[in-house]
Structure 1
Amino acid sequence: MSAELSPSGSTVAEAEAFLAAHPEIEAIDLVMHDANGIGRGKIIRRHELLGFYKSGRHLPISILGLDICGEDVHETGLIWDQGDSDLRAWPVPGSLVPLHGTVPARAEVFMCMYGLDGTPMTSDPRHALQRQVDALAADGLYPAGAFELEFFLLANERGPDGRVQPARDVVDGRFSTKTEVYSVDHLHGMLPLFSAIYAGAAAAGIKAETMISEYAPGQYELTLHYRENVMQAADDLMRLKRIVRAQARAQGVTACFMAKPIEHYAGSGMHFHVSMLDKSGRNVFVEAVEGQWSPNILHSIGGLRATMAESMLVFAPHANSWRRFVGQSYAPISPSWGVNNRSVALRIPAGDIKARRIEHRPAGVDANPYLVGATVLAGIRAGLSYRVDPGPETTGNGYEGAEAGEMPVDWRGAIEAARASTFLRDALGEDMHRTFVAIKAAEYARVARTVSEVDFDLYLHSV
C-alpha cells in the first residue's frame, strides 16, 4: 500500500517511530471529537496503525451529526441527506501517545475528518478552531492559552436520597460532605488517584500542574501549562478529561464533568486563559505602563462582551449547564469585565505584566473546548477589527450590577440566540453552526418531552 499525502500533515514516519519506541503497544484508540466533545472512533490493533497513517480511515459522515446519546440528528444534514456516506479521517500530527496504566498496553491518537478529496469536513470542531487561528495568523497574530479543568469525584453509588455523593478517599475510605476548599490535607486522601492522573498526563506530553480542592464537596481543579498554540491547549483539555475519567474509574470512583452535579454548591467551569502574540512572540496584550491597559486587550474584551449573549450556547451547551449560573457562585451571570475579580465574566488576572491575558469564565467544563476556542477567538477578532469599547470596568461584587436581558436566561433562549446569530455562524463556519444548533435543538426537545421526578413531586397530588 503506497502512502497518500495526508491533508492533516501527518506522516507515516511518525507512526513508524512510535511503534519502534513502544514495542509493548498492542492496540490504539482512534479518537475524533464531535460537536459535544465526545470522543468517537475505533480501537485498532497494532498492525493496523501504519495503514491508518498511509491512507487514513473511512468513517461515516453521520459520526459528526450525533446527539449526546449517540443518536442521529437528521436536521444536521449529515445523515440521509448525504446517504450516510463515508468520508476519511486522518491522524492529527503529534497526537499519537501511549496511555498510562492500560493492560494490555494501548495508545491513542486524535483524528480529524476530511472529504475524500482532502478538503476539511467543516462540521468537525477542530476545523472550526483552525479557521479562527488561520484568520488571526493572516493578521499577524497568534493566540496562546490554557484551559482550566474543574471536575467532581463522585461515589459510584447514589446516596440514601438517590442523589450523587462525593467519593470516599481512595487512601482510607474517609468520607466528607464538607466544602474543603483549598484544604491541602483533604487532597492527600486522593493522592494515589492524582499520581496516576499526573503519570497519564506525562505519558501524553501534557504539563498538568496545580491540583486544588475546589468550592464544593468532591470538587477539584487541575491547571494546565500555558501553550503558545491554542489548538494544543484544546487538545490538552480533551485528552486530560479522558485521563481523569479513566484513572478515576480504575480507582473505583466516578469523574464527573457535568457543569452542576450538586444543586446547592458551585458548578464546574472551564475557564479559558488567552493572550495574543505577534510574529516576534511579543504579547500584544501587555500595557506600556502597568495598569494602563493596552488598547488591544480592551478592544478584545469589548468584542467578547458584545458577542457573549449570542454565543452562550457554545459556553453552556446542555440543560444542566444552565444550573451553574447562580449569583454568588463564581459563575458569571452578565457580560461584565474586571481586574482581579472572580465575579465577572471576563477577568484580567493579577500577576506578572508579561503574562497579561484575559480569563474567559462563562464556559462550563461540559463545553467543547474547540468550539469555545473558536468562538472566543472570533470575539477577540471582532473587538480588534472594530475597536470595540469594553465599557466601564466592574469593581466589587459583579453579581449586584447584573441586569436582566443582558444574557439568555435558559437553554432554549440560548438556542434561539445562537440560531439567529450571524456572528456565531461566521465564528463556527456555516456547516458547524448548522450542525451544532440542530443537535442542541434536538437535545432540548428530548429533555422537554421527558416527564421527570420533579413533575411528580410538584404536581402529582397538587393539580
Structure 2
Amino acid sequence: MKPGVEELTSFLADHPDVEYVDAILFDLCGIVRGKRYPRQDAKGLFTNGMQIPYSVFLLDVTGDCPDAGGRGFSDGDPDGIAVPVAGTLKRVPWARVPSAQVLLTMTDQDGTASSLDPRNVLRAVESRLVEDGLHPVTALELEFYLIDRQRMTDGSPQFPIAPDTGQRDKNTQVYGMWEIESYAAVLRDIETACNVQGVPCYTASSEYAPGQFEVNLRHVTSGVSAADHASLLKRVVMGVAERHGFEATFMSKPFSKMSGNGLHIHLSLCDETGKNLFDDGGDGGTDMLRWAIGGMQATMAEAMAIFAPNANAYRRFQPNLYVPTGPTWGINNRSVAFRVPSGEGAARRVEHRICGADANPYLALAAVMLGAHHGIKNRIDPGPAHTGNAGKEMDESVPWTWRSALQRLDEAKILPGYISREYLSLYHETKWAEMEKFQSLIAPHEYNWYL
C-alpha cells in the first residue's frame, strides 16, 4: 500500500463522518483551485494523483485563461498530474458538510516536478540556498480586513458590524485589546481551525483600521512549508469569517483612506548546525545579513510585479504610512522596506515589508530568498541603515505602477538566474493580459467625472 493511501485510510478511520475530500492547489494568483472527491472515491486520488490541466496555474485573477505562452487553447490544454503532499490531509472545520482537504503539488506525466506550480518555483529557489549551506528559517505575517458582506451601492466594501455593540465599526485602535475582545469568537475559531489544519499561528493583533487584523505564523525551517502555511491561513480566515457572517479580504488597499493589507516575510539563514548566520552576537548583524539586504535591494524593482500583483496593490504605497517607499533598510525601524527587528541575536532576521497581502506567498518568498542569495554571493553593500523616517517620499528607482512593474519584470537581469525565463514570461503575459482587461473597463467615477 502506498504511504499516501495509508495516510488516507488512517484518516478516514479516525473521521468516519467525513463525506468529502477537497484536493486543492494554489495558482499563479494564489487562488485556491482543485476538485472535490466523495469519500469513497478519494483512494484514487492518493493512488494515481489527479489529472488537471497545466493552464490552471496560468489563470488570471478572474479565472480567465489568457493563453500565455500558448499554454491553454493553443496547445490543446494538456493535463499534468497533481499529487497529494504528505501530511497535509486535514479536516475542514468550517465546512457545512463534514469534509477534509489535502494540499497537492503538480508533476508532469513522467512524475517530475512541474515548473508551472508556484510551490515548485519556490522549492527550486530554496534548493539553491541549501546547496550553498544557507538554510532558511522563515515565517510570513498576513494582514486582512473583516468586512460586511453587504456592499455599498457602488460595490465598495463597508466596515463590519462589531459583534459586541451591533453597530458599524469605526474604531482605529492599533493593538487595541477591546477590538480583539469584540471579535474574539471569530479570532478564536480562526486559531482553532489553524490548529486542526496544522497551520502554526500564535498571535493576533488589531491593526490600523476598523476590522483589520494581523495573524502571525511561527518560524519554520522550510520555506515551502512557510508558504504553505500562509496560503492555507488565507483559506482558513476566509472560511471561518464566512461562517461568522463576515467576509474576509486580503486585498492590498480595500479602503482608500485606511491602512492597506501587507504580507511581511521574516527570513534568517542558518548553517547546517542551526547557527544563525545573521547573528554577530551584538545588536546589529553580520556582514552576511547586510549582504542579504543588499541583494534584496538589488532585486526589489525587478520583483515588484510579484510583490504587488495587481492595480490595487500599488495604492498601498504612499508616504508616511509605514509602507516602503524605496529600497531602504534599518534596525528596529518600521518605515523601511527591509527591517531588522530588535531582540535576541539568535533570532536575528530580516523582515521584508514590501508585499501586499494578495501576493502569491510562494512566488513572493522565492523572490525574497533569491534576492538574499544574490546579495550574499556578490557581497552587495546595502549602504547605511536609516535611523529616522525613511518613508517621506517615493524613490523613483522603484516602479510604482502595475504597468511599469511588469515592464521591469520583463527586463529582469537577476531573477532569471533563479526562476526560469519561461516562467517569468508566463507570469508577465498572464498579468499583462489581466492588466489590459482591467483597463478596458469603465469605472463608475469616470462617468461622474467625464460624462
Give the alignment's TM-score, normalised by structure 2. Answer: 0.97
- In the TM superposition, residue 187 of structure 1 has moved relative to its aligned partner by 1.7
2:379 alignment partner AA: R
Note if contact 2:325-2:395 (Cα within 8 Å) is conserved in structure 1: no
1:348 and 2:340 correspond? yes
Q: Could you say which residue in structure 2 is the equivalent of 1:189?
A: 182
SS at match of 1:210: strand
Per-residue CA deviations over 1:103-156 (Å, capped at 9, x if unaligned) read 321111111111101122111100100001111111112111111010001111
Q: Could you say which residue in structure 2 is the equivalent of 1:6?
A: none
Q: Could you say which residue in structure 1 is the equivalent of 2:401?
A: 410
Q: Could you say which residue in structure 2 is the equivalent of 1:7?
A: none
- In the TM superposition, residue 11 of structure 1 has moved relative to its aligned partner by 3.0
1:442 and 2:433 correspond? yes
Q: 1:430 to 1:21 in 2, by over 3 A?
A: farther
Match of 1:85 among 78, 84, 88: 78
Distance 2:101 2:311 in 1: 31
1:396 and 2:399 correspond? no
SS at match of 2:102: strand
Q: Could you say which residue in structure 2 is the equivalent of 1:200?
A: 193
Per-residue CA deviations over 1:242-262 (Å, capped at 9, x if unaligned) read 111011111111101100000
Q: Could you say which residue in structure 2 is the equivalent of 1:133?
A: 126
Distance 1:22 1:176 in 2: 39
2:383 alignment partner AA: G
Match of 1:428 among 413, 419, 426: 419
Note if contact 2:27-2:56 (Cα within 8 Å) is conserved in structure 1: yes
- In the TM superposition, residue 162 of structure 1 has moved relative to its aligned partner by 5.7
Distance 2:327 2:182 in 1: 38
Which runs of structure 2 are paired with 1:23-422 in the superposition (5 Å)? 23-159=16-152, 163-288=156-281, 290-400=282-392, 402=393, 404-422=395-413
1:373 alignment partner AA: L
Query: Identity percentage over the alignment?
Result: 36
Structure 1 range deviating more: 159-168 or 20-29 = 159-168
Structure 1 range deviating more: 96-105 or 232-241 = 96-105
Distance 1:292 1:110 in 2: 39
Note if contact 1:146-1:225 (Cα within 8 Å) is conserved in structure 2: yes
- In the TM superposition, residue 432 of structure 1 has moved relative to its aligned partner by 2.2
Distance 2:390 2:114 in 1: 41
Unmatched 5+ stretches in structure 1: 4-9
Q: 1:185 to 1:111 in 2, by over 3 A?
A: same
Distance 1:74 1:376 in 2: 28
Q: 1:433 to 1:353 in 2, by over 3 A?
A: same
Structure 1 range deviating more: 297-306 or 80-89 = 80-89
Distance 2:132 2:335 in 1: 33
Per-residue CA deviations over 1:151-207 (Å, capped at 9, x if unaligned) read 001111134776321111234423221212221112212111111111100101122
Note if contact 1:30-1:110 (Cα within 8 Å) is conserved in structure 2: yes
2:329 alignment partner AA: W
Deviating above 3 A after TM superposition, structure 1's stretches of 4 or more consecutive aligned residues are 159-163
Match of 1:452 among 434, 443, 446: 443
Distance 2:128 2:418 in 1: 11
SS at match of 1:372: helix
Per-residue CA deviations over 1:73-119 (Å, capped at 9, x if unaligned) read 11233213321111111111221111113232111111111110112
Note if contact 2:146-2:159 (Cα within 8 Å) is conserved in structure 1: yes
Distance 2:442 2:394 in 1: 32
2:236 alignment partner AA: I
Distance 2:106 2:200 in 1: 27
2:298 alignment partner AA: A
Q: 1:203 to 1:292 in 2, by over 3 A?
A: closer
Note if contact 2:341-2:350 (Cα within 8 Å) is conserved in structure 1: yes
SS at match of 1:181: coil
Count of matched residue pairs: 451
SS at match of 1:236: helix
SS at match of 1:148: strand
SS at match of 1:80: coil
2:444 alignment partner AA: E
Distance 1:292 1:236 in 2: 29
Distance 1:162 1:374 in 2: 34
- In the TM superposition, residue 283 of structure 1 has moved relative to its aligned partner by 1.0
2:420 alignment partner AA: G
Note if contact 2:94-2:239 (Cα within 8 Å) is conserved in structure 1: no
Distance 2:408 2:448 in 1: 32
1:51 alignment partner AA: G
Note if contact 2:318-2:394 (Cα within 8 Å) is conserved in structure 1: no
2:233 alignment partner AA: L
Distance 2:112 2:216 in 1: 35
SS at match of 1:390: coil
